[in-house]
């Protein structure tokens, strides 16, 4: 049974997996011709995204383990939807780090840290300018209560925030999520939340969800955190809301076009923290993603049900 690992993996991790499952042939291959040659007789592949070329080359493919949590790239590979191979992802591996990143952005904004960073560079003892805020007592509104949204909600609760959420499904949630609405009730969340965190997957139904009109429904002086995927939020409308002072601040880690184009008004928008789709990056994330793959590799060998199976038609 052959599994191809696209890219490089930790040597010790591979050695451990081989020891646990001697019947597995584990092959590392770089993207490009080497990868296409390696998957020709592979039963499975551990890869970030699949291409139509790879599907055509992999004649025996029965399982694709995505190295990422988001699988919106399926929209560009309709062949995979009809392909018999199962698709699984690493959802859950990135949640804690992304939630921490979201709150790093939020605290940077609410505590006015930028002015102190500038003052340090100038060797200047600066007293706070502007209004500094505490999170306790604020309402956190989470859009999408999956693994990432739930991790954000947990941290909001830890900061003594009131937590409300919307989700497309009636998902299980902790008691500190005081209200869980359906997506149709998004305007209700936007009206009440002091902080809005976007943690919903990108699907045809969610693209453009936070339009300029929806952003206008947010509370005056609210904060926006965009953590899941680009294209869900109207970025020009976010920049306008920041410039006009309707939003107090925004943190964005994902964008409709990546890298973010030089002409984007977000670059010059006040009180905007921008990071290059890096919120999920950490040693812990890499280890958790591998553990999900390793567990599934064992299940694959034993013919058991895989974890984190993706509905290829829904895209999550």
> Quick one: pLDDT at residue 158?
98
Six-digit token string for 155? 């941290």
Active site residue 258: yes
> Quick one: pLDDT at residue 129?
87
* Integer CA distances (angstroms), 73 to 29, 138, 188, 220, 289, in order: 21, 35, 31, 35, 18
Indicate if the pLDDT at residue 186 is higher than 90: yes
Tens-place pLDDT, residues 269-296: 999 999 999 999 999 999 999 999 999 9
pTM of the model: 0.93
Q: Which residue has better confidence, 316 or 2?
A: 2
> Quick one: pLDDT at residue 130?
85
Catalytic residue among 83, 192, 277, 299: 277
Structural domains in the chain?
2-93+282-302 (3.40.50.720), 95-274 (3.40.50.720)
* Integer CA distances (angstroms), 108 to 123, 158, 296, in order: 20, 17, 38
Tens-place pLDDT, residues 126-161: 999 888 999 999 999 999 999 999 999 999 999 999
Catalytic residue among 174, 258, 287, 304: 258
SS3 135: coil
Catalytic residue among 101, 147, 155, 229: 229
Positions of E strands within the chain? 2-6, 25-29, 44-47, 63-66, 86-88, 139-143, 162-167, 177-182, 195-198, 222-226, 247-252, 272-274
Active site residue 207: no
- The C-alpha torsion from 105 through 107 and 111 to 117, rounded to 10°, is -50
Six-digit token string for 151? 């991790």
Of the pLDDT bands very low, low, confident and very high (cuts 50, 70, 90), residue 63 is very high
Q: Find the mean pLDDT for residues 2-14.
A: 95
* Integer CA distances (angstroms), 128 to 114, 134, 245, in order: 10, 14, 19
Distance of alpha carbon 249 from alpha carbon 222, whole angstroms = 7
Distance of alpha carbon 271 from alpha carbon 114, whole angstroms = 9
Task: Report the 10 Å Cβ neighbour count for 10.
Answer: 11
* Integer CA distances (angstroms), 64 to 22, 49, 51, 154, 246, in order: 20, 9, 12, 31, 44
């Amino acid at each position: 049974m052959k599994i191809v690992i696209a890219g490089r993996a930790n040597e010790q991790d591979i050695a451990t997996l081989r020891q646990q499952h001697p019947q597995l042939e584990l092959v590392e291959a770089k993207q490009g011709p080497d990868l296409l040659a390696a998957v020709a007789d592979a039963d499975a592949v551990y890869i970030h995204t699949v291409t139509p070329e790879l599907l055509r080359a992999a004649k025996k493919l029965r399982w694709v383990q995505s190295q990422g949590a988001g699988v919106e790239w399926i929209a560009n590979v309709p062949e995979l939807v009809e392909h018999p191979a199962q698709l699984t992802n690493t959802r859950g591996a990135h949640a804690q780090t992304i939630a921490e990143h979201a709150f790093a952005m939020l605290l940077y904004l609410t505590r006015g840290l930028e002015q102190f960073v500038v003052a340090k560079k100038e060797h200047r003892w600066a007293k706070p300018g502007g209004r500094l805020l505490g999170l306790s007592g604020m309402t956190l509104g989470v859009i999408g209560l999956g693994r990432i949204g739930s991790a954000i909600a947990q941290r909001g609760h830890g900061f003594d925030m009131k937590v409300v959420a919307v989700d497309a499904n009636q998902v299980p949630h902790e008691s500190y999520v005081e209200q869980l609405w359906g997506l149709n009730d998004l305007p209700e969340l936007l009206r009440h939340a002091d902080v809005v965190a976007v943690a919903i997957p990108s699907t045809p139904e969610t693209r453009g969800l936070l339009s300029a009109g929806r952003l206008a429904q947010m509370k005056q002086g609210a904060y926006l955190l965009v953590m899941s995927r680009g294209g869900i939020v109207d970025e020009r409308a976010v920049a306008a809301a920041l410039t006009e002072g309707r939003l107090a601040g925004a943190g964005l880690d994902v964008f409709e076009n990546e890298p973010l184009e030089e002409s984007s008004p977000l670059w010059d928008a006040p009180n905007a923290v921008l990071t290059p789709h890096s919120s999920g990056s950490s040693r812990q994330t890499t280890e958790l993603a591998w553990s999900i793959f390793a567990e599934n590799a064992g299940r694959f060998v034993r013919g058991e049900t895989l974890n984190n199976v993706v509905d290829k038609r829904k895209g999550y």
